[in-house]
Structure 1
Amino acid sequence: MADSPREGKVARPPDFTQLIDLASEFVGGKILFATDDFFAPAENLLKRDNPSFKEHEYTEFGKWMDGWQTRRKRIPGHDWCVVQLGIQGVIRGFDVDTSYFTGDHAPRVSIQAANFEEDKQPEIPQREVRTGAAATPEEFEAISELKSDDWSCLVPMTELTPGNPASSHNYFPVTSQQRWSHIRLNIFPDGGIARLRVYGTGQKDWTAGDPKEPLDLVTVAYGGACVGFSNAHFGHPNNLIGVGTAKSMADGWETARRLDRPPILENDENGILLVPGCEWAVFRLAHPGVITQIEIDTKYFKGNSPESCKVDGCILTTQEEEDMVRQKWDLPGHKWKPLLPVTKLKPDEMHVLDSLTPELQDVITHAKFTITPDGGVSRLRLKGLPSSICLLRPREKPMMRFSVKAGFRANL
């Protein structure tokens, strides 16, 4: 656990908080079970938004709180809940946020984890959110099928700080390299927690599935990640590779308006806007592969979509990526392979485009998405074949030999 900050001084969040929240309701995370939801339901733990406080609002059960809060326990035991992650993957750290729980926060916490293959998960009845209620004997019996008492312990029993502004975040780094699908959050003995963030990277079993079916090699669900960008004034580029379709304009990548745009705009002979600048984001693929189709969705961006875009790819080792991050991605132009030429974009529309990759040996590990001059995009999908699969497919021409340089890791 990170050191608790001194009162009045907000600590800098650890680096793992830049990763995706695998448990967020936004990516499909859900509560399977909670021992008690008397004051506030456990579903609040997985909300994407930061917790809020309504000073004078009460329910029939007591003070309204934006989190999970159990009753004051008067029977043996302690409270706990089970979370099914929306994205299965490697966990890098937790944030147990006690915001606004100052006299009724959970005093201690521990966290366990398990991994179940999708076709081997016990059937758990869908939970009903019932503020003011405790789990029924039938719910206890159903959740016992998961044998969560025996799950691996990622965070041992640790004291929590109350939810004051300077100390509400309780960070727990995780060193396990295993893939996890479920979390058990234990509080001792009872109390309230505002949010549970489970930061990490998605992980996929690349040997499963149809080898001829193209996959989205950049999605966060499989381990793709943004590793650099020029501007993220209104939305982070990681949103581009999020799960499912965008929910609103806030669920995309949007830059500020560039100040170097000419006072009067003009087009070239091909109808492309003549502007000096652009914005870009670089993504590490979840797995090296060949991109065959590109989807660019400008949904919700009606008056602020980019004029045009292009996509390039390259091969980098882990060390080369780290060097590029330090150099703010000043990568020589000849290192990039064109995947999509400069292409006009329309507002509020899905664009499905074929990649320019001419030969199967054009495997990439990273992709650069460039928009001109600025604006917003909701989703980017880079569909293709993982290298280990595509290089085994028959070809009419002799195959050029390809191997990823030593040091590359699909998931950092």
Structure 2
Amino acid sequence: MAERTAAEPAAAEPDFLQSNDLACEAVGGKVIFATDEWFAPANNLLKREKPNFSASAFTEFGKWMDGWETRRKRTAGHDWCVVQLGVPGLIHGLDVDSSFFTGNHSPSISVQAGCLDKPPPFTLEGDRTGMAASDVQLAAVAKLGSEAWPELVCVSELKPGYSDCCHNYFKVNFNHRVTHLRLNMHPDGGIARLRVYGVGQRNWSSVSPHQDVDLVALTNGGVCLGYSDAHFGHPRNMIGLGRAANMADGWETARRLDRPKHLKVDQQGILQVPGCQWAVFRLGHPGVISRVEVDTNHFKGNFPDSCRIEVCSLTPEDEAQCISNSWNSGKWQVLLPTQKVCNIGKQGVSKQWPPANKVSDLFPQKTLLTTTRNILFI
């Protein structure tokens, strides 16, 4: 548990990190079973916050760790837990983060996946530090047959929790909907966080075509496919559940260094600046957009001056081409012309467009939209 070294370079990060974390506690993910939680409980795996470390923090069971840590195993078998995804869907990759577990990390892990018709009738409640699964819990979880679930990740070495190697990335090729994961330690040890990157899948057959649906929400299958900058916050945060908890739970870019030394505005009061920041989202389902909402909650001195939204319909082949070209191509059309954005009071503004005329007046109703591009002018 030594001090961590220099940060891992961003260039080493895989593409799937742009997808949504389907297991995070912020979207309803939870650990419903763990064999052992002696030093640190398994529900820490799904915390939204990054892991932290305190050299002086101890509990009555030993060293406090911000993750899941089991005892040194003295019986046959290995430790494992079952994670219920907050958003069921397709998984593209995993980050098994061993941060700060430098002499006590699990040597190896494997991951299995299941798709259950109904959530199991059991879960873990409260602080389970110092606890292990009871015979009743072991009997209940045995009915899931999780040991026979298909593998997403075969038994693989886990690197220790120094900052230059703590993120253990695993690309997943599994084209089936997943509701639950089984995370296996081989044989025991500690893991700080489990990030499950993918795209949500909703059963659209039960949704009326006349029902208003947030087509870009992560719970409905929306996903960020690209962006210009995410220095302080990833644009995928904008499609999360509910309103943002704080400024870190939104999209914030670095300040552009090419902005004018003296700013000017046009007749509508919109700043005249070169360039913009942008993010591209694939909708969870093709549809007709009738209303757009932009929420600036928490952004008081750094909200954008204005925004514009463009749309297009892409085939999978078109999308792949746009991604390879860093979204410098594509037949975009304006859905929402440049609009002034504001922030009023402590709660910010949840601004909806149009206030009077439907957005459909700006874009033909007959058009099915599959991709949107949100452009912020700063």
**Smaller-chain TM-score bracket:** 0.7 to 0.9
Give the Cα–Cα distance (whole angstroms) in 1 for the partners of residues 257 and 279 of structure 2. Answer: 19
- More moved, 121-130 vs 248-257: 121-130
Q: Figure out how many residues of one structure are paired with residues of the other and give that number.
A: 362
Question: Offset of 1:233 from its aligned partner?
Answer: 2.5
Does structure 1 retain, via aligned residues, the 8 Å contact 2:19–2:224? Answer: no
Give the Cα–Cα distance (whole angstroms) in 2 for the partners of residues 244 and 81 of structure 1. Answer: 28
Decide which of 147, 150, 154 is 2:148's aligned counterpart.
150
**What is the match of residue 409 of structure 1?**
none
C-alpha distance 100-340 of structure 1, shift in aligned 2 (>3 A): same
1:207 is the counterpart of 2:212: no
1:183 is the counterpart of 2:174: no
Decide which of 333, 343, 355 is 1:337's aligned counterpart.
333
Q: Deviations over 1:26-52 (max 9, x none)?
A: 222111111111101111111233323
C-alpha distance 109-277 of structure 1, shift in aligned 2 (>3 A): closer
Q: 1:244-283 residue pairs with structure 2 within 5 A?
A: 244-283=242-281
Question: Offset of 1:131 from its aligned partner?
Answer: 0.8
Helix, strand or coil at the partner of 1:272:
coil
Does structure 2 retain, via aligned residues, the 8 Å contact 1:40–1:65? Answer: yes
Helix, strand or coil at the partner of 2:132:
coil
Does structure 1 retain, via aligned residues, the 8 Å contact 2:31–2:123? Answer: no
Give the Cα–Cα distance (whole angstroms) in 2 for the partners of residues 252 and 9 of structure 1. Answer: 23
Q: 1:284-299 residue pairs with structure 2 within 5 A?
A: 284-299=282-297
C-alpha distance 127-142 of structure 1, shift in aligned 2 (>3 A): farther
Task: Structure 1 unaligned segments of length 5 or more: list them.
Answer: 1-7, 375-412
Does structure 1 retain, via aligned residues, the 8 Å contact 2:311–2:332? Answer: yes
- More moved, 57-66 vs 254-263: 254-263
**What is the aligned-residue RMSD (CA, Å)?**
2.4
AA at the equivalent of 2:205: T
Give the Cα–Cα distance (whole angstroms) in 1 for the partners of residues 165 and 226 of structure 2. Answer: 30
AA at the equivalent of 2:159: T
Does structure 1 retain, via aligned residues, the 8 Å contact 2:18–2:224? Answer: no
TM-score, structure 2 as length reference: 0.87
Give the Cα–Cα distance (whole angstroms) in 2 for the partners of residues 201 and 110 of structure 1. Answer: 21
The percentage of counterpart residues that share the same residue type is 51
AA at the equivalent of 2:342: K
Question: Offset of 1:9 from its aligned partner?
Answer: 8.8
Q: 1:112-131 residue pairs with structure 2 within 5 A?
A: 112-117=112-117, 120-131=118-129
AA at the equivalent of 1:82: V
Give the Cα–Cα distance (whole angstroms) in 2 for the partners of residues 273 and 66 of structure 1. Answer: 45
AA at the equivalent of 2:328: D
1:356 is the counterpart of 2:354: no
Q: Deviations over 1:45-65 (max 9, x none)?
A: 112333233223222111122
Helix, strand or coil at the partner of 1:323:
helix
**What is the match of residue 369 of structure 1?**
374
Helix, strand or coil at the partner of 1:324:
helix
Question: Offset of 1:136 from its aligned partner?
Answer: 2.4
Give the Cα–Cα distance (whole angstroms) in 2 for the partners of residues 175 and 156 of structure 1. Answer: 12
AA at the equivalent of 2:92: R
TM-score, structure 1 as length reference: 0.80
C-alpha distance 154-228 of structure 1, shift in aligned 2 (>3 A): closer
Q: Deviations over 1:263-307 (max 9, x none)?
A: 444433333334344322222222222111111101011122122
Does structure 2 retain, via aligned residues, the 8 Å contact 1:122–1:145? Answer: no
Helix, strand or coil at the partner of 1:221:
helix
Give the Cα–Cα distance (whole angstroms) in 1 for the partners of residues 94 and 192 of structure 2. Answer: 13
Question: Offset of 1:145 from its aligned partner?
Answer: 4.1
AA at the equivalent of 1:170: N
C-alpha distance 279-9 of structure 1, shift in aligned 2 (>3 A): closer
